[in-house]
């Protein structure tokens, strides 16, 4: 974990409300493991105090990139920042995905919207190729499809309006694949909470291991404020663990969704 | 140049500490800042038993502030000692342990446990958390209960006792005096201010707990006034806190009458804040030709 002032190299619109930010972060980039995140202070925000957490998308030398959607004040201000401007970044943070070992289970990645960003490094560093299931509402919500294909992964796209790929939910496509009952699979997922819950249910139904990257509201990002807690199994009961520290990636069997409802 | 101050029998190398609940157990910040440059480390509130805390959402960002209702999640006395004490004991700066209980007896028992531990710098009593049903603020907003909890803890330990005051009273003066008379060695002023936010799309409160405690730069002027009022009424030192994010903020607290200060919510967004305050304070003293930080304490001029 390092805190440093990073300089924006580029900050370009991807599709629709999605942007790609590249920053020079020599203290952070080399340390990043798949599924980890960076906590970013957007200095022009002023009256909004907290940092914003973003999955680390790609690494190239001493730069790292973030794929984000403008969903609120923080990301809107960020999207207007230009190359040369500075951000304060703490990273890499959190406990990421387990990178598959050679000759172990075939990885099946499941992403909803900008959840793809959290899975890219995993796909890149996995010695085994697998299948990426990508879902979104419309065509513009499907991101970096070509980049996953360029890594040699099979990409299956679903959109809710049918404007790209198969029509329907991403978890329907995953179900169809799992029903083939090919042996030795493992699921890795990042996306909206309802999607993660559905992936967890599929993993349980087909008795497969699954790692889920949770997206919770965060405060400090380093484990002290206890904002981002989720209910996790502990003995016979459960306890609140921190998405920023014990997570964001949890074994789906450990997450006690019903306790948080 | 002297930066050191005394809180009861405890000497701090400089007057800059951190606010309980914003600094975990210190270890979380060890990779980002040199903890040994602080005046003291103040840990998150601990009661006898582990505490699960409130449901989520637990915090909401508001203009220049943050409302939280964490519910004092924590490992309990034994869990704290097992997981964190070895690390904290190894620091060169004192650890102030924030404690709470649901009854007067529990406060006293927790105080006894930490007294017996050895090596603790001071105990801070949380009698002002707005986010728990039993314990917390009920002790800090009732003069009789406040006196009782402080005097029972006084009997339980020789460690310096710091009472963390609630801002949610008509006047802080009688509460400050009551804590002093019951044997408190210092006062922490203030805890978070009761607050609420509503999501207008869902018409739901922003916090699962409905209400919470407001912290951050937006509460600083309230805290400055409370410190100023209390400082005129008691002889014991005051640790001032509420929205400090710069040396200038900290100096304001000192001038209002605080002997030391605590950086709180700013730790969440800028972990370097406390050390920046130390550096900025030193710089200010140099510029003003002040040789001893104690010259700043209570130096506000309110007369004509």
Task: Give the confidence band of A179 by pLDDT, cuts at 50, 70, 90.
Answer: very high
Mean pLDDT of the A107-130 span: 95
Interchain contact, B58 vs A41, CB within 8 Å: no
For position B31, what pLDDT does the model report? Answer: 95
- Six-digit token string for B265: 């919510």
Task: Tell me whether residues A224 and B57 touch, CB distance under 8 A.
Answer: no
pLDDT at B174: 97
Judged by CB atoms closer than 8 Å, whether chains meet at A41 and B29 is answered as no
Q: Touching check for B265 and chain A: CB below 8 Å?
A: yes
Test B53 with A227 for CB contact under 8 angstroms: no
Q: Which residue has the tokens 């949770």?
A: A214
Q: What is the pLDDT of residue A207?
A: 95
ipTM of the predicted structure? 0.94
**CB contact residues (below 8 A), chain B span 26-45, against chain A:** 28-29, 31-32, 44
Q: Which residues on chain B are in Cβ contact (under 8 Å) with A229?
A: 53, 56, 58, 73
Q: Closest by alpha carbon to B215, among B72, B100, B97, B59?
A: B59
Question: A193-202: per-residue pLDDT in tens?
Answer: 999 999 999 9
Residues 48-67 of A with CB under 8 A from B: 48-51
pLDDT score recorded for residue B130? 65
Q: How far is B79 from chain A (nearest CA, A)?
A: 14
> Chain A: residue nearest B59 by CA?
A227
Interface A:B, Cβ pairs < 8 A: 82
Cβ atoms of B99 and B110 closer than 8 Å: yes
pLDDT score for A47: 83
Instruction: Output the tens digit of pLDDT for each of chain B's 304 residues.
Output: 999 999 999 999 999 999 999 999 999 999 999 999 999 999 999 999 999 999 999 999 999 999 999 999 999 999 999 999 999 999 999 999 999 998 889 999 999 999 999 999 999 999 876 666 566 667 888 899 899 999 999 999 999 999 999 999 999 999 999 999 999 999 999 999 999 999 999 999 999 999 999 999 999 999 999 999 999 999 999 999 999 999 999 999 999 999 999 999 999 999 999 999 999 999 999 999 999 999 999 999 998 7
| Partner residue facing A226 (CB), from B61, B70, B265 | B70
What is the spatial distance between Cα A131 and Cα A109, in angstroms, rounded to a whole number? 6
pLDDT (0 to 100) of residue B262 = 98
User: CA-to-CA distance for B9 and B153, rounded, in angstroms?
Assistant: 17
Q: Determine contact, residues A158/A185, Cβ cutoff 8 Å.
A: no
Q: Which pLDDT value is given to residue B141?
A: 85
CA–CA min distance A49, chain B (Å): 6
Residue A15: pLDDT band (50, 70, 90) is confident
C-alpha separations of B294 from B61, B157, B287 in Å:
35, 28, 16
pLDDT at site B132: 61
- Say whether residue A260 is in contact with chain B using an 8 A CB cutoff: yes
Nearest to A219 among B59, B65, B270 (CB): B59
């Amino acid at each position: 974990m390092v805190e440093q002032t990073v300089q924006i190299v580029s900050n370009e619109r991807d599709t629709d409300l999605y942007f790609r930010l590249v920053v020079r972060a020599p203290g952070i980039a080399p340390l990043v493991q798949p599924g980890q995140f960076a906590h970013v202070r957007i200095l022009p925000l002023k009256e909004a105090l907290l940092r914003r957490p973003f999955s680390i998308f790609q690494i190239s030398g001493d730069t790292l990139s973030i794929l984000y959607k403008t969903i609120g004040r923080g990301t809107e201000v960020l999207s207007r920042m230009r190359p040369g401007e500075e951000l304060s970044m703490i990273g890499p943070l959190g406990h990421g995905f387990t990178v598959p070992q050679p000759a172990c289970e075939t990885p099946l990645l499941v992403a909803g919207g900008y959840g793809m960003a959290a899975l890219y490094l995993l796909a890149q560093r996995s010695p085994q190729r697998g299948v990426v299931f990508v879902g979104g509402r419309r065509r513009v919500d499907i991101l970096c499809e070509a980049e996953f294909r360029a890594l040699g992964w099979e990409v299956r796209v679903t959109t809710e309006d049918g404007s790209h790929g198969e029509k329907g939910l991403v978890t329907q496509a995953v179900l169809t694949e799992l029903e083939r009952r090919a042996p030795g699979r493992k699921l890795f997922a990042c996306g909206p909470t309802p999607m993660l819950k559905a992936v967890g249910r599929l993993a349980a139904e087909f008795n497969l291991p699954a790692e889920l990257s949770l997206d919770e509201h965060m405060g400090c990002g380093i484990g002290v404020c206890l904002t981002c807690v989720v209910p996790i199994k502990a003995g016979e009961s459960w306890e609140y663990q921190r998405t920023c520290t014990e997570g964001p990636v949890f074994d789906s069997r450990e997450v006690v969704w019903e306790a948080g409802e | 140049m002297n930066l050191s101050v005394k809180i009861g029998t405890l000497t701090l190398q400089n007057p800059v500490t951190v606010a309980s609940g914003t600094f975990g157990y210190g270890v979380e910040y060890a990779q980002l800042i040199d903890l040994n440059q602080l005046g003291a480390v103040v840990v998150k509130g601990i009661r006898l038993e582990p505490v699960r805390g409130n449901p989520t959402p637990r915090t909401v960002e508001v203009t220049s502030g943050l409302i939280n209702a964490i519910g004092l999640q924590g490992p309990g006395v034994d869990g704290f000692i097992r997981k964190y004490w070895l690390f904290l004991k190894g620091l060169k700066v004192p650890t102030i342990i924030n404690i709470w209980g649901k009854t007067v007896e529990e406060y006293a028992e927790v105080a006894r446990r930490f007294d017996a531990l050895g090596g603790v710098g001071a105990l801070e009593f949380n009698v002002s958390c707005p986010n728990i049903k039993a314990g917390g603020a009920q002790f800090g907003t009732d003069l009789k209960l406040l006196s009782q909890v402080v005097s029972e803890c006084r009997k339980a330990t020789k460690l310096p006792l710091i009472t963390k005051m609630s801002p949610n009273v008509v006047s802080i003066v009688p509460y400050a005096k009551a804590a002093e008379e019951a044997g408190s060695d210092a006062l922490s002023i203030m805890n978070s201010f009761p607050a609420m936010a509503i999501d207008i799309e869902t018409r739901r409160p922003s916090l699962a707990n409905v209400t919470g405690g407001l912290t951050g730069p937006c509460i600083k002027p309230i805290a400055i006034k409370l410190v100023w009022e209390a400082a005129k009424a008691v002889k014991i030192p005051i640790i001032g806190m509420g929205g400090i994010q710069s040396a200038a903020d900290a100096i304001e607290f000192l001038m209002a009458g605080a002997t030391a200060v605590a950086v709180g919510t700013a730790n969440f967004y800028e972990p370097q804040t406390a050390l920046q305050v130390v550096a900025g304070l030193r710089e200010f003293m140099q510029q003003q030709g002040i040789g001893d930080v104690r010259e700043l304490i209570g130096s506000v001029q309110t007369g004509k």
